Amino acid sequence: MKVILVTGGTGLVGNGIKAAMEKEGKREDEEWHFVSSKDADLQGYHQQYGCMFTSVIASNVFGPHDNFNFENGHVLPSLIRRVFDAKAGGIPFVIWGTGSPRRQFIYSLDLGRLFLWIMREYNEVTPIILTGECLERQKHNAMIIQSCTRS
């Protein structure tokens, strides 16, 4: 049976998949195509074409090849960049807002490995949410990142 995996985004997610595939290797009977769409009618595609169309919803992704631009990057890399810039400029690091919102995170290479598992083992059209176990407050994350830069 053909399996098609739909993700809510590309970029870092795609790099996580690529890294996991390079490490584990693609099986001879597998053909890979990556699709990114939040509007895919997965149940309809499944009924019409007989393929397993699965949608993955990932939490905040971080890891190698990330975007460290604090204006449009992901949460953790943006915080890392802001701490780095503050330290390099000799200015105080200021957390915007209260820092109380909670977020879940998943490492990009772990996400890539989970994508391989989904493509090979998950036989459902129902979307699956992939995330870490912990809900962390933004202020807590910022303080950890800042403590790692102290000399």
CATH of domain 3-149: 3.40.50.720
89 pLDDT band, cuts 50/70/90, is very high
pLDDT tens string 111-124: 888 888 888 888 88
User: Do residues 108 and 130 lie in contact, with contact meaning Cβ atoms separated by under 8 Å?
Assistant: no
Mean pLDDT score, 131-142: 71
* Percent of the chain with pLDDT strictly greater than 70: 70
The domain limits of the chain are 3-149
CA dihedral 71, 147, 140, 135 (to 10 degrees): 90
Q: How far apart are the first and last CA of the chain?
A: 55
Question: Using H for helix, E for strand and C for coil, what is the string for 53-78?
Answer: EEEEEECEEECCCCCCCCCCCCHHHH
pTM to 2 decimal places: 0.65
Mean pLDDT score, 72-80: 80
Give the side-chain half-sphere CA count within 13 A for 68: 9
